[in-house]
Amino acid sequence: MPKSRTQTWYRQYVNRMRALANVKNAMAVLQWDQETYLPPKGAQARGQQLTTLAELAHHMATSSALGRLLQSLLDSSDLPETARRNVELSWEDYQKMKKYPTSLVKALTEASNRCFTDWIQARKENRFSLYQPALERMITLKLQEADILGYEALPYDALLDQHEKKLTTSTVETIFQPLQKAIVDLLAQIQQKPQPEDDFLYQYAPKQHQWDLGIYLLQSIGFDFEAGRQDLSEHPFTTSFHPHDVRITTRIHEHHLPTMIWSCIHEGGHALYEQGLPVEEYGLPAGQANSLVIHESQSRLWENCIGRSLSFWQFHYLELQKRFPEIFSTIPLQQFYRAINKVQPSLIRTEADELTYHLHIIIRYEIEKKLINERLPVKSIPELWNALYADWLQVVVPDDLHGVLQDVHWSHGSIGYFPTYTLGSVLAAQWWDVLQQSIPDLHQQMAKGNTQPILDWLRKHIHAYGSLFHTQELCQRVTGKPLDIAPFLQYVKEKFSQIYGLTN
């Protein structure tokens, strides 16, 4: 039977989108290498390589031929449902990418390379001033980008939309304001109670032993090492070039084992999502990870709801004791569980407990708003950062390394990314609520070391859909409700009331 015109056009569309994905993923490989193995002298050449590929990708993504092909497909009446949604989403991206002049694409890529290199050097020397000029250039370009993309209310909205479609400052405020109040109130109650002893978590743990534990934990939650790998980096991250090639990184502090544990499980959550995307839809929206809120909901679900749960460690704690007997052999499981869930304001976001973590996020959000909406000078960031930490977390920032230089995101131009961490945590609690209803013996299975039922549920209800649904659509589809902070607040209140003996 001969193919219809629509089938021929769709095949041409698929070929173009996969070729574009190949170029973007080649860039991603170079960026992964940049953060893991690139020798210092290779930084400049790497910037040139990435710029060339970025220009090529932009040309492919905005070609008139692709535009005509998409328009023809949109005008067709015989596209299957998934195919039509792929085309509609590609058309949205096409229209957005057409707004970018090639000069801005090139400038952003060059600025990102320089900014990341300077961030690394600034961390080594503990001096924000070394990073400041490159970051100023990046912020200037992001302001230009916001103007090009357009916005109804605030320029920051245009940058939020890049990480979560349709997200605005107004929407974030409606979630963050009540969330911040609830967290501060719960934190005040917790601080009136005796804190769990956690000194043992800061004992010396050899680097190689930690690394081996991380591999064990990743394998236990279902990460496929035949389709991915783990390496070390300055800042943990996940990148994917294909569902069969997903890379994650971790970092290790030999006097703080939890740093490695939580970064492994967190990035493992991201990686499980990428490995679960439909291979047959590679290069198309249906085969791409959804928004960053969905992505962070996966990492925060695995890190906190699962990885910090008592059920999870009822199985894995014996393995931890075997691998680090000098630290844990005399520590009962309940003491370990309370220690890894200790709530205490701290300096470093990635090492924060799951309650105060969100104050770290809201601080970054407030700074980003001022940078973009109020043109806060970049040189003023450290002062504002330190003041907010003193005010909201009652901690004194001793230096730039433990303050404004701790995160890699701004060096990549990822302004508007941070709110997705907290929004992802809120959504993770909604998934967790439904998961426990859907799998009645979930905690019993976890206590046996079996998290496969959880992964199977995520594969079926979230991973399988790629980007076909916006966050609110997927949330409504899976939970029957829109994004809602109530399950998250219920989750943290129940958990920490039990740990700290709080009364309502």
Element (H, E) at 249: strand 245-250
CA dist., res. 366 & res. 373, Å (int): 10
CA dist., res. 424 & res. 301, Å (int): 9
Annotated active-site residue 326? The verdict is: no
Q: Which two tokens stand for residue 497?
A: 């009331």
Torsion of the alpha carbons at 386, 387, 393 and 396, rounded to the nearest 10: 50
Buried b / exposed e across 306-333, counting CB within 10 Å, b at 16+? Answer: bbbbbbbbbbbbeebbebbeebbeebee
For residue 296, give the amino acid letter.
E
CA dist., res. 214 & res. 271, Å (int): 14
For strand 228-232 and strand 245-250, is the pairing parallel, antiparallel, or unpaired?
parallel
DSSP string, 308-363: TSHHHHHHHHHHHHHH-HHHHTTS-HHHHHHHHT-----S-GGGS-TTTHHHHHHH
List 381's β-bridge partners, or say none: none
The count of other CB atoms within 10 Å of the CB of residue 41 is 7
Residues 467/290, Cβ–Cβ less than 8 Å: yes
CA dist., res. 305 & res. 280, Å (int): 31
Q: What is the DSSP letter of 481?
A: S
Nearest Cα to Cα of residue 18 among 195, 197, 282, 226: 282
List 239's β-bridge partners, or say none: 247
CA dist., res. 56 & res. 16, Å (int): 13
Query: Which residue in 145, 164, 267, 354 is the catalytic one?
Result: 267
CA dist., res. 210 & res. 250, Å (int): 11
Nearest Cα to Cα of residue 341 among 182, 497, 176: 497
Which active-site residues does the annotation give?
Answer: 267
